[in-house]
Structure 1
Amino acid sequence: MKSLFAILLVGLLTSPAISADRPNIVFIVADDMGYADLGVQGARGFRTPNLDRLAAEGTRFTNFYVAQAVCTASRAALMTGCYPNRLGMQGAYNHTSRDGIADEEWLLPEMLRDAGYATAGMGKWHLGTRPKFHPMRHGFDEWLGIPYSNDNTKYHPSLATEMPPLPLYDGERVVELDPDQSTFTRRLTERAVDFIERKADRPFFLYLPHVMPHVPIFASAQFSGKSGAGLYGDVIEELDWSVGEILATLKRLHLEEKTLVIFISDNGPFLSYGEHAGSAAPLREGKLTTFEGGLRVPCLARWPGHIPAGRVCDIPFIGIDWLPTLTELASGKTSTLTIDGRSVKAVLLGEEKVAAPHEALFFYSGTALQAVRSGPWKLHFAHPYITVAGEPGRGGKPSNWGKLAPTSITQSGVEGIATRHGYRIEPLELSLFNLETDPGERENLASKHPEIVARLSKLAEPVRLELGDTLQGVQGSGVRASGIDRSQDSSP
């Protein structure tokens, strides 16, 4: 009997569900937060002590990219390990959208739940609004949040009359319509803390995609007017408070050394909103562009005893890499479908002499392949891009307020979104930039380095053939269909 008990005990202690080598995972995503909105990266007048502490106690990754600089596409990449173009998911879904994440895709929460993790999400989903796309049908045990962006409401600057009330879901049930947005950060944080407390004795995955600082921005009474840097500063300081609450909970429950905490933004700042937007300095442009300011975002990771403290890492990697990385850390099951990401476990843990996981990274805007990065070099193919039309907006209104061209809310492509939010479209010629010496992408070196232009162009050719490229009229051979709800029910 003793020997049988010993065998069972050894089996339990080495089973994947309770292995000491598998961390709890807390993944926090800000919405439209700029590269320079951290204190340690040059925040303009407001304070982020908890995020700065996360950087000091872990690693700050200064060349982390999202797969596209817009909400739905960025999140689809994070959840599936695929460039969003492989999934047929671009732009930003809204209340009219019938598309969403396909049932066949293997999502991060599905992988972790299958591996024995408790899973919960609180915040903005944005991978489909219809019931079949609900997060609890794609791997989450619990959910509190909204299905799409918080400006898809009565607060929209030019289409407010077309918008239905914003639904807040608790589980699969709508519990409020048009909730007080100043309470979002606090409510999501309180539910996140409650989840950690309830699941402290087993592996857990907490996904916290905050609603803020996407416009319209709101801070609670506790933070309103307190930063000294305007409402945007108040909002960021409240998000920083939220991070502090999560870290304090992990410490109180003695879970710090058992938990990997990751913090990123889903894309760069919504620059057209001026004082209600963040900063990507010294990077060029912001959200909705394939310039660095749209794609390169804050990235912090802490796991005491595993991730080196106080390290700054400049190895480039991208949002599609999180799924294979966390699959490896969690001893999870890999997708049977083709994915584009690669595990960056060695980069994350600071192993010596680690090479960049990708020879090149590829950047789309919608269905157009606009840029490729390899090493320090970034090549932009000739393409139109958006930039702020005139002076940046004020008081929650975008640039060019009152002169916005009429467009339909059903236009979810980048150009449609840009036109509705006060941008103008400009041409960009074939351009080559050295990001090590020119992170602001100002000096075009294409004519001086034709051999590098040729090399990066060649790297893009197979990606263009597989994922498509409307700039060159190429239909991708490796594109999968997104999910679609063909029912007549129009409710979210």
Structure 2
Amino acid sequence: MKLKEMLLCLLVALPLMACAAGQKPNVVIIYLDDAGYADFHPFGTPPYPTPHVEALAEQGLQLTQFYVPTAVCSSSRSSLLSGCYAGRHRVFGAHGPGGRGLNPKFTTIAEMLKAEGYATAHYGKWHCGDRPETRPMARGFDSSAGLMISNDMWRFNPVWATRVGKGPLPYWEDGKIAIEDVTPHDQKFLTKWATDSAVKFIRKQKERPFFLYVAHSMPHVPLYCSDAFLGKSGAGLYGDVMMEIDWSVGQINQALKDAGVARETIVIFSSDNGPWDEFGNHAGKTPFREHKGTSFDGGTRSPTIIKYPAGLESGLVIDRPLLTIDVLPTLAYLTGASLPDHEIDGKNVWPVLAGDEDTPHPHEYYVFEYGGRLEAVLSPDGRWKMHLPHPYRHVLEAGNDGLRGTTTTRRIGWALFDLAEDPYETTNVMERHPEIVERLKAYADDHLAKFYQDK
């Protein structure tokens, strides 16, 4: 066996050896709301510094083709926490006040790890259900603080107020309402509150394995940041907000170091979908086609970093495709936890993360869904992406300073894109590759039959 192969085998086996020795890794997921792929160095070159995200990438893996299966809040978060496609868990949009969210029959990462003795906490935005049985404290979290819904679902949003009325936007702490109706002043502290709670949790739980889910409300509009960051970026309010998020990453990373648990902690940094382009200078940037709410890469490809000093080599770039549905089963493998007793769609992708390029991808295909329909299929090598005919929202003119722009509905027919040569999905090459089309159509038919027949 060659030296490289021996090292890869050792790297793949390390997590199991650690679990056998009783050293269960901690897990921290930092999940942003509507951040663009190019909003952080080293994924892009934004006009503001993000040194803490850069440092995280240097200490871990930079994933260039990491996707969400549905580019909208509740659906994306439900897939992350359950390891299931939207076709299975049936959460397709962004749920409002009182929304059912993720059905309790689907096990969450928190419930899976809590059964293994983990301390669990959620801070920030939830958006996976706003009923007693679907809020965080009922879904495996020992502690929770934040909003149950998006921060724009409040009486200061004229579109929201017209649509559903001027109801309150509560802020919750450990299953109880702490602020009856969030104000603009309160919104300035959402990132700081989530960060401070995360740091306190790490300090308190450093002697036992823990799962920490920090799901920031930002940079979803309306944009707010604390006074310490207002005007700091020199790049407008969006830059200020992103610098505070970068600070948050630094605070959490430093807390892990100070607690002496950084080496044994898996840190995952990502976003629930792409930028909300119609808000112009209050939205993020992506080099890819379209944006949030679409199945083009601008909506589904997220800037993602995974750091695990005890098990992963640092500073590597992984170009193979992965989806958020793979997080739960991979964490189950790394922690020795039992998988849910119901079927899930994600798979353990540890060999891919460990850099074993010779190991076949565990998926035959990935899919992208939106609005209760299957919209696209991706090959496991990340090269071929086929769109099924579907409508999508396109921005005609972006708004500015928090005002919404104008959009129209466009349609795409059957289309095949070669992402290796055309990552921006501009040129339909279906006629040149009939064998690829036939294979991806067969996968689409399988997925439709499994999840959408008679639904």
**Which bin holds the TM-score, normalised by the shorter protein?**
over 0.9
Q: Please tell me the residue identity of whatever aligns with 1:154.
A: R
CA deviation map 1:282-316 (0-9, x unaligned) = x1011000000100101101111311111000111
Q: Distance in 2 between matches of 1:87 and 1:233?
A: 35
Q: Please tell me the residue identity of whatever aligns with 2:138.
A: R
Q: Please tell me the residue identity of whatever aligns with 1:83.
A: Y
3-state SS in 1 of match to 2:302: coil
Q: Please tell me the residue identity of whatever aligns with 1:371.
A: A
* Kept after mapping to 2: 8 A contact 1:125/1:209: yes
Out of 411, 434, 443, which is 1:427 matched to? Answer: 411
Normalising by structure 2, we get a TM-score of: 0.92
Out of 212, 218, 235, which is 2:241 matched to? Answer: 235
Q: Distance in 1 between matches of 2:332 and 2:156?
A: 39
Between 235-244 and 352-361, the greater mean CA deviation after superposition? 352-361
Q: Distance in 2 between matches of 1:112 and 1:295?
A: 27
Shift of 1:15: 11
Out of 366, 369, 392, which is 1:385 matched to? Answer: 392
CA deviation map 1:350-369 (0-9, x unaligned) = 34523322121111112111
- Answer with 1 or 2: which has the greater Rg: 1
Structure 2 equivalent of residue 225 of structure 1: 231
- Does residue 209 of the first structure (1) align with residue 210 of the second (2)? no
Out of 49, 54, 57, which is 2:56 matched to? Answer: 54
* Kept after mapping to 1: 8 A contact 2:145/2:172: yes
* Kept after mapping to 2: 8 A contact 1:317/1:356: no
Q: Distance in 1 between matches of 2:21 and 2:150?
A: 37
CA deviation map 1:163-211 (0-9, x unaligned) = 3121100011101021410101111100100000000111011000001
Q: What percent identity do the matched residue pairs reach? A: 42
Q: What 5-or-longer segments of structure 1 have no aligned partner?
A: 1-13, 401-422, 469-473, 477-492
Q: What 5-or-longer segments of structure 2 have no aligned partner?
A: 1-16
- Does residue 311 of the first structure (1) align with residue 312 of the second (2)? no
Shift of 1:96: 4.7
3-state SS in 2 of match to 1:133: coil
Moved over 4 A (4+): 14-18
Q: Distance in 2 between matches of 1:157 and 1:475?
A: 38
CA deviation map 1:62-92 (0-9, x unaligned) = 1111110001110111111110220121101
Shift of 1:349: 2.7
3-state SS in 1 of match to 2:328: helix
Q: Distance in 2 between matches of 1:229 and 1:173?
A: 37
Structure 2 equivalent of residue 326 of structure 1: 331
Question: Do the aligned partners of residues 18 and 106 (structure 1) sit closer, same or farther apart at CA in structure 2, a change above 3 Å counting?
Answer: farther
Q: Please tell me the residue identity of whatever aligns with 2:439.
A: R
* Kept after mapping to 2: 8 A contact 1:372/1:456: yes
Shift of 1:157: 4.2
Shift of 1:254: 1.4
Normalising by structure 1, we get a TM-score of: 0.85
Structure 1 equivalent of residue 265 of structure 2: 259
Q: Distance in 2 between matches of 1:187 and 1:18?
A: 36
Structure 1 equivalent of residue 147 of structure 2: 146
Question: Do the aligned partners of residues 441 and 157 (structure 1) sit closer, same or farther apart at CA in structure 2, a change above 3 Å counting?
Answer: farther
Q: Distance in 1 between matches of 2:83 and 2:432?
A: 36
Q: Distance in 2 between matches of 1:443 and 1:155?
A: 42
Structure 1 equivalent of residue 172 of structure 2: 169
Q: Distance in 1 between matches of 2:145 and 2:204?
A: 16
Structure 2 equivalent of residue 415 of structure 1: none
Shift of 1:463: 0.6
* Kept after mapping to 2: 8 A contact 1:155/1:216: no
- Does residue 441 of the first structure (1) align with residue 425 of the second (2)? yes
* Kept after mapping to 2: 8 A contact 1:78/1:322: yes
Shift of 1:255: 1.2
Q: Please tell me the residue identity of whatever aligns with 1:454.
A: E
Q: Please tell me the residue identity of whatever aligns with 1:24.
A: N
* Kept after mapping to 2: 8 A contact 1:152/1:163: no
Q: Distance in 2 between matches of 1:266 and 1:105?
A: 19
Q: Distance in 1 between matches of 2:204 and 2:262?
A: 16
CA deviation map 1:425-451 (0-9, x unaligned) = 011121110001111000111122222
Superposition map of 1:53-452 within 5 A: 53-97=55-99, 99-161=100-162, 162-176=165-179, 177-179=181-183, 180-281=186-287, 283-351=288-356, 353-374=358-379, 375=381, 376-388=383-395, 390-400=396-406, 423-452=407-436
Question: Do the aligned partners of residues 381 and 253 (structure 1) sit closer, same or farther apart at CA in structure 2, a change above 3 Å counting?
Answer: same
Shift of 1:252: 1.3
* Kept after mapping to 1: 8 A contact 2:98/2:131: no
